[in-house]
Structure 1
Amino acid sequence: MAVQIAVIDDWQDVARDVVDWSTLESIGEVSFVHDYPADNETLAKRMGSVEVICVMRERTRFDEDLLRRLPNLKLLVTGGMRNAALDFKAAAALGIQVCGTDSYKHAAPELTWALIMAATRNLVVEANALRAGQWQQGLGGDLHGKTLAILGLGSIGKRVAQFGQVFGMRVIAWSENLTSDAAAEVGVTYVSKQELFEQADVLSVHLVLSERSRGLVDAQALGWMKPTAQLVNTARGPIVDEAALVKALQKNRLAGAALDVFEVEPLPEHHPFRTLENVLATPHVGYVSQQNYQLFFSQMVEDIQGWSAGKPIRVLS
């Protein structure tokens, strides 16, 4: 009997065309579901008969309750080698294999820098004005000689730091695990947390979401920032206290924010980030790129083939 394989979280309905899924025909039948996440009861009805589910990183949440509602599920395959939306412990206890994929490492840093440039030079307003028959709405900002503050100098943070250095920016960084020596190795100045926020002209968030980082950018940290500074977040929404950021932006205590990630995704229809004039917001497209999706989905196919052959690869649980 053919294995039922579901590719979910395909919000843009692009998965079917990114790679050749026909290589799985000898294993089972592939279906594509591009609905947004729902409550567990709805999800259980939607996927109750499915044995293999391919998920995108941190979209649909598979907690213990949902996993128990999916008695036929044998394999979960996620984009990336880390997915905080999956309960790995529960999956293991229920005998559900979890496998991952590699990631294209350049997509998120490139999007981060696109947001920094667009926000600094007011590009969306200027482009929209031009389309409306207008011309030159205001003065853009500058980056050369300014301070780029990196919150979390991991692989993505380092890449963003390199871009800043190319643009002639002074680059500083802080995280709880960062040392002065580690920062110096990539030409970055290590500072304290308070100094990071106080000195930033652009502050870019690149931490992994954890209980330690959740809400780390709070009202106090935002209060340390210059009123001329920009906050950029392409990491995870809950790292920033969203209510505190909205308040700071409404009161113009910050020049602006460029955001690709949010507390709740998709972003609620009437959220202030959709209308505040000093916010440039994109719909979590940091890893949504041609090369990254080709890598994700091609390796998902490989994971399913390996599991079917009894030789699972890129095992997470």
Structure 2
Amino acid sequence: MKKPKVLVTRQVASEAISLLKTVAEVDVWERDEPIPRDLLLKRVEEADAILTMLTERVDEELLNRAKQLRVVANMAVGHDNIDLAACKERDIWVTNTPDVLTEATADLAFALLMATGRRLTEANRFLLNGEWTAWSPSLMAGQNVYGSTLGIIGMGRIGEAVARRAKGFGMRILYHNRNRKEQAEAETGAQLASLEVLLRESDYVVLLTPLSEETRLLMGEKEFSWMKPTSVFINVSRGGTVDEGALYQALVKKQIWAAGLDVFQQEPVPANHPLLSLPNVVALPHIGSATEQTRGEMARLAAANIVAVLEGQKPLTAL
């Protein structure tokens, strides 16, 4: 009996590939860069399953070529790269990789908060450039982290994990979410707040919402105008949730103090992006879940979802 075929669009953990090979023939794009669109469309024609990244668009064009596709396993929590409705119409399972990346992403969010608030990357450049010639009381002075107020926009799994870390830093925690999270409130002391109140009162604002039509450009000129001139904005969600032009103006006009960004509207971000020119911006290349252990677990979960479907079972983390 002919084995089904799985297309894997990037190099992933060898354990995940080995798992897939127990039930299928595996076609891996082995370069550590996105598979070209024309090649993706060609290879997907024979695929029963596809293990994708956020960099691949699974849309009508692709689905029309993928006549025997049964499952799309996205190696991410987000799925804004996938047309869920079009997949549902074709009875194609779509899965993601929640939970396994929660703690690593929360670590990164809090590390970015601290690096931005305490000007760590700016201070590092200052030292390496040979500019440190004397100590002074104002040298690279940042903002307090311990005991400050943290506002979390999007109190999902990662938001709750960030709140747990903030509790250890004695922070007052506000959160804005569609639903009240009573367990998180009990565990961390977090308080539900309107978006305006959160932005006006927080010293640090961490954006952790998924990208949807409701959250697209959620943070714009009005929202940044509500923030304190000493406040720090952190985005570890999706680039599309922020009006980058408005953020740039807020930083230049000193409406807010600094920003830490792991995501951008266009990725990879162009080297001449205006935000990258500002000394009070700490920018990272979308590495929220980038630990060896976490990326390995994400790949294994995506593979396990594919194996389940190919064996006639319900996937573990269906959307």
- The TM-score range, normalised by the shorter chain, is 0.7 to 0.9
Task: Please state whether the residue corresponding to 1:145 is helix, strand or coil.
Answer: coil
Using the alignment, how far apart are the partners of 1:22 and 1:221 within structure 2? Answer: 48
Listed as ranges, the matches of 1:244-259 within 5 Å are 244-259=246-261
Q: Deviations over 1:7-46 (max 9, x none)?
A: 21x3xx5x144x252344352133134433665x564135
Q: Answer yes or no: is 1:128 the counterpart of 2:131.
A: no
Listed as ranges, the matches of 1:155-304 within 5 Å are 155-178=157-180, 184-185=185-186, 186-304=188-306
Q: Answer yes or no: is 1:108 the counterpart of 2:100.
A: no
Q: CA deviation at 1:315?
A: 6.0
The answer on whether the counterparts of 1:79 and 1:103 sit within 8 Å (CA) in structure 2 is no
Residue 63 of structure 2 aligns with an amino acid whose one-letter code is L
Equivalent in the alignment of 1:31: 28
Cα 1:49/1:274, change in 2 over 3 Å = farther
Q: Answer yes or no: is 1:60 the counterpart of 2:56.
A: yes
Residue 60 of structure 1 aligns with an amino acid whose one-letter code is E
The answer on whether the counterparts of 1:229 and 1:254 sit within 8 Å (CA) in structure 2 is yes
Cα 1:270/1:253, change in 2 over 3 Å = same
Using the alignment, how far apart are the partners of 2:167 and 2:13 within structure 1? Answer: 39
Equivalent in the alignment of 1:21: 17
Q: CA deviation at 1:229?
A: 0.9
Residue 85 of structure 2 aligns with an amino acid whose one-letter code is K
Percent of aligned pairs with the same residue?
Answer: 30
Using the alignment, how far apart are the partners of 1:82 and 1:139 within structure 2? Answer: 36
Equivalent in the alignment of 1:90: 86
Listed as ranges, the matches of 1:148-159 within 5 Å are 148-159=150-161
Residue 290 of structure 2 aligns with an amino acid whose one-letter code is V
Task: Please state whether the residue corresponding to 1:280 is helix, strand or coil.
Answer: strand
Q: Deviations over 1:41-62 (max 9, x none)?
A: 5641354443321012x33221
Q: CA deviation at 1:280?
A: 0.7
The answer on whether the counterparts of 1:109 and 1:156 sit within 8 Å (CA) in structure 2 is yes
TM-score, reference length from structure 2: 0.85
The answer on whether the counterparts of 1:230 and 1:256 sit within 8 Å (CA) in structure 2 is yes
The answer on whether the counterparts of 2:174 and 2:190 sit within 8 Å (CA) in structure 1 is yes
Residue 52 of structure 2 aligns with an amino acid whose one-letter code is V
Cα 1:222/1:61, change in 2 over 3 Å = same
The answer on whether the counterparts of 1:152 and 1:175 sit within 8 Å (CA) in structure 2 is yes
Q: Which residues of structure 1 form unaligned runs of 5+?
A: none
Q: CA deviation at 1:127?
A: 2.0
The answer on whether the counterparts of 1:21 and 1:30 sit within 8 Å (CA) in structure 2 is no
The answer on whether the counterparts of 2:49 and 2:70 sit within 8 Å (CA) in structure 1 is yes
Using the alignment, how far apart are the partners of 1:289 and 1:22 within structure 2? Answer: 20
Cα 1:194/1:308, change in 2 over 3 Å = closer
Q: CA deviation at 1:224?
A: 1.0
Q: Answer yes or no: is 1:51 the counterpart of 2:52.
A: no
TM-score, reference length from structure 1: 0.86
